[in-house]
Amino acid sequence: GDSVTQMEGPVTLSEEAFLTINCTYTATGYPSLFWYVQYPGEGLQLLLKATKADDKGSNKGFEATYRKETTSFHLEKGSVQVSDSAVYFCALSDGNNAGNMLTFGGGTRLMVKP
Amino acid sequence: GAGVSQSPSNKVTEKGKDVELRCDPISGHTALYWYRQSLGQGLEFLIYFQGNSAPDKSGLPSDRFSAERTGGSVSTLTIQRTQQEDSAVYLCASSLVEGMNTEAFFGQGTRLTVV
């Protein structure tokens, strides 16, 4: 079945540091890939997505490129801010079952210190 | 409504009691999903509704769990004879099922604690 693996946290960075959160996936078809973010006390929000190989999703300074050859969708940001502190979830939807059901990674907590 | 609404936001119940969790999806969204977020298990898919029918119930962890959706809108997740391992945050999401990359919008969840 489908699965998503992402680096375990917590990841602790200083403000303006470079961020990478690794994500790899296993899927039977050609999935769409997503990063969701959960800020403290809030619900899950879509951060960015990519629907086919070599697509780059971007939002709020975050980027991730759909790499089919390495089955990866790593999240990057050049300069993190304290307000980026949150839990980040990588996810996929392969459209083969349950509508647009999402398969999630375990989540990575990011803490950014001033 | 403006977003997906879940109630209650927090629920503490005694072991063995039944609980009902409610989800109001975004108006017009035909697809509705329930997920469970628990320590050590991450985010698990529970059940999916397309309109009022549930084509996929594969994620429900046991027969103590059931869900229904009426009028293509509100959904209720019921857990009977709750156990401590049911303690988790239960998340609801809705989307327009028009393609594989359709965004799912999540509610803030119901935090269930079984004591």
Mutate to test the interface with B, among A90, A97, A100, A103 (most CBs of B within 10 A): A100
Q: Which residue of B has its CA nearest to A108?
A: B42
pLDDT, residue B66, reads 96
Band of residue B98 on the pLDDT scale cut at 50, 70, 90? low
Interface contacts A/B by beta carbons within 8 Å: 68
Q: Distance (Å, rounded) from C-alpha B115 to C-alpha B104?
A: 32
pLDDT, residue B103, reads 81
- Mean pLDDT (chain A) is 92
Say how many Å lie between the first and final Cα of chain B, rounded.
33
Contacts of A42 in chain B (CB under 8 A): 108
pLDDT, residue A100, reads 73
Is B48 at the interface with chain A, CB within 8 A? yes
In DSSP terms, which residues pair with B47 in a beta bridge?
B34
Does residue A76 carry a pLDDT above 90? yes
The rounded Cα B97 to chain-centroid distance in angstroms is 18
- Mean pLDDT (chain B) is 91
Q: What is the pLDDT of residues A8-47, one digit of tens each?
A: 889 999 999 999 999 999 998 789 999 999 998 888 999 9
Distances (CA, A) of B80 to B10, B20, B50, B77: 17, 9, 24, 10
The rounded percent of chain A whose pLDDT value lies above 70 is 96
pLDDT, residue A98, reads 58
Q: Which residue of B has its CA nearest to A32?
A: B101
pLDDT, residue A88, reads 97
Say how many Å lie between the first and final Cα of chain A, rounded.
41
Cβ A101–B106 below 8 Å, yes or no? no
Burial A86-113 (b: 16+ CB within 10 A, else e): bbbbbbbbbbebbbbbbbbbbbbebebe
Contacts of B99 in chain A (CB under 8 A): 95
Is A32 at the interface with chain B, CB within 8 A? yes
Q: What is the pLDDT of residues B60-96, one digit of tens each?
A: 999 999 999 998 899 999 999 999 999 999 999 998 8
Q: Give B26's Cβ-side CA count (13 Å radius).
A: 15
Is A106 at the interface with chain B, CB within 8 A? yes
Cβ B108–A42 below 8 Å, yes or no? yes
pLDDT, residue A101, reads 83
For tokens 């809705």, name the residue: B94
